[in-house]
């Protein structure tokens, strides 16, 4: 009989549902709705995001055509990070819906972190090969973290090894994007505006200060001054911003590897879906590490990873007892 895992992720800007087949690991359903941010705003208040999740979840759940009686596990992202004090109100929407569905269907209910969801979504086809010696880089609107990752009996154990001390890469991109008039979140719109441009002015990239933890908030003023100076095209400035982020990623990795061993690097999160950043990081690290990028769709917030985590746990625990 067919059995499913229902994955639910209600993050800062996306409502996501996925359905995974417990036996074949095939994703039978995968859809999401990006929350609406009014033009001119640089984000959403948590209460506004929660309200949108409540509406969006019903829309997505109604799209499921599989027999819901075959759902055997409801798997939910319940908090941002895999640490005790981690909390955001938006994740309570997924929690509450998930608990109600699990009770109604009399099936298992499991919670993971949003960060574990991203890690799992990066390892969909390779999770049996990579269980340790992993550096996971989670870069998004709310997170810039470099994590030592290893598989655990439940989910993934993570230890923070580096990141930003102030704002995140996503915040830098969004603040500069809204300053240039792009809709929020800005990364995709900024990248799309460069599609028809083949050459960019060579803008000297700012120096990166710090080791495995860096400050990047000063770059907001640096690039705003470049924009106001009107010396370079908008496309050249955007290209420079993305190349700067890529250089920061490589800089932090080079410092972390001085005292830590890892052979595999995962780069996930909304910022990791950017082609310029992906290509620049890959070119600089491809000879030293196994670099794993999830698909662009699974780089951004999704429920695919959390729908597969119970399957990954089952394999790992069965493997250990053989």
pLDDT band at 1 (very low <50, low <70, confident <90, very high): confident
pLDDT band at 131 (very low <50, low <70, confident <90, very high): very high
DSSP 195: T
Residue 33 has pLDDT above 60, yes or no: yes
- Planar angle of CA 126, 129, 130, nearest 5 degrees: 85
Please compute the mean of the pLDDT values over residues 286-304 and round it to a whole number.
Answer: 94
Q: Which helix (H) or strand (E) holds 271?
A: none
> What CATH number does residue 52 fall under?
3.30.420.40
Residues 167 and 282 in one domain: yes
- Predicted pLDDT at 320: 59
- Predicted pLDDT at 197: 87
Residues 268 and 285 in one domain: yes
- Predicted pLDDT at 49: 96
By CB atoms closer than 10 A (0-12, 13-18, 19+), residue 290 is: middle
Residues 50 and 103 in one domain: yes
Question: Tokens 């269907």, residue?
Answer: 105
Please compute the mean of the pLDDT values over residues 183-193 and round it to a whole number.
Answer: 93
Residues 310 and 231 in one domain: no
Residues 265 and 312 in one domain: no
Residues 145, 119 contacting (CB under 8 angstroms): no
Residue 226 has pLDDT above 70, yes or no: yes
Residues 52 and 102 in one domain: yes
Residues 187, 175 contacting (CB under 8 angstroms): no
Residues 119 and 168 in one domain: no
- Predicted pLDDT at 319: 61
pLDDT tens digit string along 141-187? Answer: 889 999 999 999 999 999 999 999 999 999 999 999 999 999 998 99
Domain housing 172: 162-293
Residues 75 and 180 in one domain: no
- Between 41 and 48, whose confidence is greater? 48
- Predicted pLDDT at 103: 98
Residues 240 and 283 in one domain: yes
- Predicted pLDDT at 152: 97
Please compute the mean of the pLDDT values over residues 47-58 and round it to a whole number.
Answer: 97
Q: What is the mean pLDDT of the chain?
A: 95
> Could you tell me if residue 277 is inside a domain?
yes
Please compute the mean of the pLDDT values over residues 33-48 and round it to a whole number.
Answer: 89
Q: In angstroms, how far is CA 149 from the centroid of its own chain?
A: 15
pLDDT tens digit string along 74-104? Answer: 999 999 998 888 999 999 999 999 999 999 9
Q: How many domains does the chain have?
A: 2
Residue 19 has pLDDT above 70, yes or no: yes
Residues 286 and 313 in one domain: no
Beta bridge partners of 308: none
* DSSP string for 123-186: STTTTTT-SSSEEEEEESSS-EEEEEEEE-SSSEEEEEEEEESSS-HHHHHHHHHHHTTPPSS-
Residues 76, 110 contacting (CB under 8 angstroms): yes
Phi, psi for residue 12 in degrees, rounded to 5? -60, -35
CA-CA distance, 36 to 279, in Å (whole number)?
A: 29
- Asked, as a colleague might, if the bond just before 117 is cis with ω within 30 of 0, I would say no
- Predicted pLDDT at 228: 97
> Could you tell me if residue 131 is inside a domain?
no
CA distance to 168, 207, 309, per residue, from 229 (Å): 25, 20, 49
- pLDDT above 70 covers a percentage of the chain that reads 99
CA-CA distance, 271 to 9, in Å (whole number)?
A: 18
Kindly report the pTM of this predicted structure. Answer: 0.93
Sheet holding 27-34, edge to edge: 27-34, 14-21, 4-10, 71-79, 108-113
- Predicted pLDDT at 209: 86
- Predicted pLDDT at 40: 77
Residue 322 has pLDDT above 80, yes or no: no
**Which of 29-38, 192-201, 202-211: highest mean pLDDT?**
29-38
Residues 23 and 68 in one domain: yes
* DSSP string for 63-128: T--S-GGGEEEEEEEEESSSSTT---TTHHHHHHHHHHHHHHHT-EEEEEEHHHHHHHHHSTTTTT
Residue 42 has pLDDT above 90, yes or no: no
Residues 113 and 213 in one domain: no
Give the least confident one: 151-165, 251-265, 278-292, 308-322.
308-322
- Between 206 and 116, whose confidence is greater? 116
CA-CA distance, 247 to 95, in Å (whole number)?
A: 37
CA-CA distance, 20 to 6, in Å (whole number)?
A: 7
Q: What's the number of CA atoms in the CB half-sphere (13 Å) around residue 222?
A: 17
């Amino acid at each position: 009989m067919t059995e499913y895992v229902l994955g639910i992720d209600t993050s800062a800007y996306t409502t996501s549902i996925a359905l995974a087949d417990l036996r074949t690991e095939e994703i039978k359903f995968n859809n999401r709705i990006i929350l609406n941010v009014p033009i001119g705003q640089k984000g959403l208040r948590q209460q506004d995001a929660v309200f949108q999740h409540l509406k969006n979840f019903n829309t997505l759940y109604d799209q499921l055509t599989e027999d819901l009686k075959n759902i055997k596990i409801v798997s939910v992202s319940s908090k941002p990070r895999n640490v005790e004090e981690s909390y955001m109100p938006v994740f309570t929407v997924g929690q509450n819906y998930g608990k109600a569905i699990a009770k109604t269907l009399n099936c298992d209910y499991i919670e993971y972190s949003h960060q574990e969801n991203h890690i799992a979504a990066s390892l969909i086809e390779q999770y049996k090969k990579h269980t340790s010696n992993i550096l996971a880089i989670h870069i998004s609107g709310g997170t810039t973290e470099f994590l030592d990752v290893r598989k655990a009996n439940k989910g993934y154990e993570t230890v923070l090894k580096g990141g930003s001390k102030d704002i995140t890469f996503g915040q830098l991109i969004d603040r500069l994007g809204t300053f240039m008039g792009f809709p929020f979140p800005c990364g995709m719109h900024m990248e799309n505006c460069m599609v028809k441009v083949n050459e960019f002015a060579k803008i000297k990239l700012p120096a990166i200060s710090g080791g495995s933890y860096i400050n990047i908030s000063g770059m907001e003023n640096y690039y705003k001054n470049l924009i106001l100076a009107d010396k370079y095209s908008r496309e050249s400035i955007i290209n420079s911003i993305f190349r700067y982020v890529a250089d920061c990623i490589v800089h932090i990795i080079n410092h972390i590897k001085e005292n830590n061993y890892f052979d595999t690097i995962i780069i996930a999160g909304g910022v990791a879906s950017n082609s310029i950043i992906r290509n620049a990081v890959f070119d600089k690290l491809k000879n030293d590490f196994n670099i794993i990028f999830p698909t662009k769709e699974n780089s951004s917030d999704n429920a695919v990873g959390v729908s597969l985590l119970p399957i990954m746990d089952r394999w790992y625990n069965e493997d250990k007892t053989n």
